[in-house]
Structure 1
Amino acid sequence: MKRPLAFVAITKHGVHMVRRLQEQLEQADVYYMDKFARGDEAARSIVLFQGSVKHILPDLFRRYDGIVLFISLGAVVRMIAPILQDKKTDPAVVVVDDKGKFAISVLSGHLGGANELAKRVAAQVGATPVITTASDVQQTIAVDLFGRSFGWEIESFAKATPVSAAVVNEERVAVIQESGEPYWWDYDRPLPDHIRVVDSCAEADQAKFDAALVVTHRLLDEQEEQRYLHNGVLYRPKVLVLGIGCNKGTSAEEIEHVIVQTLNEQRFSLRSVRNVATIDLKKEEPGLLSVCKKYGWRLDTYTPDELNTVTLPDPSPTVYRYTGAYGVSEPAALLSAGATEWLLTKKKAGNVTISIAQVPFPSVKEVIRR
């Protein structure tokens, strides 16, 4: 696994700054030239190197999420150019000048976090952060970071670049948000006039726009994909809660099959599942735990008394006889989601029962101000 940060210096002043930063920022490794050794490097886990820093950069790129280089910008650009791979995998790179006046975001400003890293380093050394990303400078939507703080997933990066261009060039942009957190506009100014927010694809159908940001847990049909994604980006908010009941010893394969099949039947995205919920009797069920681990889903569990606080349309005396609860999947889904109704009340398939609820949020139009 990669470590978070590496600080690299090749000058006397740079060494002074990286040693100080090591004390201020946790989980950071320090590298500098051996001719500046002070004798305490081993005790402080500082790595000394000889020769040109370009020889260690390929290894640093593989090992770290962020690299702060106390080297001139031009030299850094020439050294990293041959080892760049992809914006989704390259680490954040920040350059700090020898006097500590500027902390410059150089590479992976958004996805890699170099913009935020430049601000953090600048605050520690008393420098001015230099951010040149258009969306940051203009204080508008960053397409590749949209919803990231809430855990949203981008379905595809294919149109991220032209959609980003549409946003910063003030072309007509539709934000179509059917679900998920509506609190994504955090600038202290109104949403720009060229960005229109709507609650559904149906509402957007009559609108004219050059690019679209679509936020939904639904699987789009072919016509919707053609209309909204020909120059659009699709985001999957984490809003679905799966209530699961299963017989003892039910295999992970069967549970997973029921989940995937049911979501497809309901036209919901697997990427929008936030977590699974069940009765506390099942908190150690191997098959259920295995599925949750595979997808990185949290497992919420409830006691029979907690489950029985939910009024069910069809309470089961049989389930009550074995568990003490009149239902498992339906009440667990509602309690975990904080919802009052189901997207799918209950479906039984083999050894598995599944219910689906949606995490409720206010309408985006109620939250975003003009």
Structure 2
Amino acid sequence: MARKLLRDLPGSDLYYMSKFTQGDEEEKGIRTFEGSVRLLFPDFFREYTGLIVFISLGAVVRMIAPVLKDKKVDPAVVVIDDRGDHAISVLSGHLGGANELTREVARLIGANPVITTASDVQQTIPVDLFGRSFGWELDSFEKATPVSASVVNEEEIAVIQEVGERNWWQYPDKPIPPQIKSYDSFAAAWDATFQAALVVTHRLLTPEETVRFLGNGVVYRPKTIVIGIGCNRGTSAAEIESVITETLLEQKLSIKSVRTLATINIKADEEGLLAVCEKYGWPLETYTPDELNEMPMSEKSDTVFRFTGAYGVSEPAALRAAQADKPLLTKKKSGNVTISLAIWQGEGTR
């Protein structure tokens, strides 16, 4: 079974005791060891994001206990019994991906997946994973545990969603429970009765909204903000980053909701832009002058056209990358940088 998983799980490594050597370990990249596997777990926890262990559940619990840190950093741990009848999600079921790994392993070896996290058993919203498949970020884990308790205890839940993908319910054969109510704005939910709130927005909340909804609530940041950028050749990363962060703050938007940066293709090698994208993990999308000229613009610049072949850069680039018809911020010029903002209108957002 272990060798089958090595073959079928891309990027996996296999370790077993040297007494089980078959002679082809070097050829297949299999690593053997002497002594207790318990001594290897500190290194495994540092080096891998997921561990599949063919040892009894109780033994695994005792071995990993001394190296546990936090569910936000611990790897997924899945235990398989000696006969391969059961694949058991043991650690980091949600954030670490152990539940997903358990299902995949069970599928590959024909085992029964054993998953005990309450939201999976009850088929409801997993608070710490809500929207993760779309790239949403949980703003803070501070209230994640009490909000999760409210969800699994079937209390009244308000989902306030201003932006982002709307197809977040992941159980096609089960309707959304009646105690989970959705609202498309804070105003619509203001007078509602609820015990916990899940807020999906790219906006920075006002003090009044924070008090009303985050007493027992969490905020998710969907990837909806598209930044169109134009800049002079050689503009530093520091200046570009400063203009972006200042503009987002002026617009009361969270930097965690930035989806992508967009610009003209002649800026594809602009070092400052590339450095900022690398720092924040943002993709850089580039377009030809013809592609930019196809987009609506608040004003066309003959000067920009003479140098680039496009009548504008930041605004049409933002609109094209966002699949939008109008910008949130038409254009702002600051030093060597021109910036525009648009809200992503792609699949699932309408």
TM-score range, shorter chain: over 0.9
Amino acid at match of 2:68: L
The aligned counterpart of 1:186 is 170
Amino acid at match of 1:86: D
Residues 180 and 361, structure 1, Cα contact 8 Å, conserved in 2: no
The aligned counterpart of 1:5 is none
Amino acid at match of 1:75: A
Amino acid at match of 1:350: G
Residues 93 and 106, structure 1, Cα contact 8 Å, conserved in 2: yes
Judging changes above 3 Å, is the alpha-carbon distance between structure 1 residues 66 and 167 closer, same or farther for their aligned structure 2 residues? same
TM-score by length of 1: 0.91
Residues 199 and 363, structure 1, Cα contact 8 Å, conserved in 2: no
1:58-207 alignment runs, 5 A limit: 58-187=42-171, 188-207=173-192
Residues 323 and 346, structure 2, Cα contact 8 Å, conserved in 1: no
Deviations along 1:19-50, one digit per CA (max 9) or x if unpaired, are: 22222222111111111111111221211122
The aligned counterpart of 1:6 is none
CA distance in 1, matches of 2:257, 2:188: 22
Deviations along 1:129-164, one digit per CA (max 9) or x if unpaired, are: 100011001111001111111111111000110111
The aligned counterpart of 1:299 is 284
Amino acid at match of 2:273: L
TM-score by length of 2: 0.97
Amino acid at match of 1:298: P
Deviations along 1:88-122, one digit per CA (max 9) or x if unpaired, are: 11111111111111111000001111111111111
Runs (4+) off by over 4 Å = 361-364
Residues 33 and 48, structure 1, Cα contact 8 Å, conserved in 2: yes
The aligned counterpart of 1:334 is 319
* 2:150 alignment partner, SS class: helix
The aligned counterpart of 1:238 is 223
Residues 147 and 184, structure 1, Cα contact 8 Å, conserved in 2: yes
* 1:29 alignment partner, SS class: coil
2:270 matches 1:285: yes
Deviations along 1:268-302, one digit per CA (max 9) or x if unpaired, are: 11111111111112121111121111111111111
* 1:43 alignment partner, SS class: helix
* 2:331 alignment partner, SS class: strand
The aligned counterpart of 1:217 is 202
1:361, distance to aligned residue in structure 2 (A): 5.5
CA distance in 2, matches of 1:262, 1:23: 49
* 1:355 alignment partner, SS class: strand
CA distance in 1, matches of 2:114, 2:241: 47
**C-alpha root-mean-square deviation of aligned residues, in Å?**
1.4
Judging changes above 3 Å, is the alpha-carbon distance between structure 1 residues 172 and 362 closer, same or farther for their aligned structure 2 residues? farther
CA distance in 1, matches of 2:29, 2:95: 29
1:311, distance to aligned residue in structure 2 (A): 2.7
Deviations along 1:333-367, one digit per CA (max 9) or x if unpaired, are: 10110000111011111111111000125897x7x
1:170, distance to aligned residue in structure 2 (A): 0.3
Deviations along 1:182-214, one digit per CA (max 9) or x if unpaired, are: 111121211000101011112111111111111
**Paired-residue identity, %:** 64
Amino acid at match of 1:281: I
CA distance in 2, matches of 1:358, 1:240: 5
CA distance in 1, matches of 2:274, 2:233: 12
The aligned counterpart of 1:256 is 241
Amino acid at match of 1:276: L
Judging changes above 3 Å, is the alpha-carbon distance between structure 1 residues 67 and 325 closer, same or farther for their aligned structure 2 residues? same
Residues 216 and 235, structure 1, Cα contact 8 Å, conserved in 2: yes
* 1:330 alignment partner, SS class: helix
1:324, distance to aligned residue in structure 2 (A): 2.0
Task: Count residues in correspondence.
Answer: 349
Residues 261 and 282, structure 2, Cα contact 8 Å, conserved in 1: yes
Q: Which runs of 5+ in 1 are unaligned?
A: 1-16
* 1:56 alignment partner, SS class: helix
Residues 159 and 181, structure 2, Cα contact 8 Å, conserved in 1: yes
- Pick the aligned partner of 2:10 from 19, 26, 41: 26
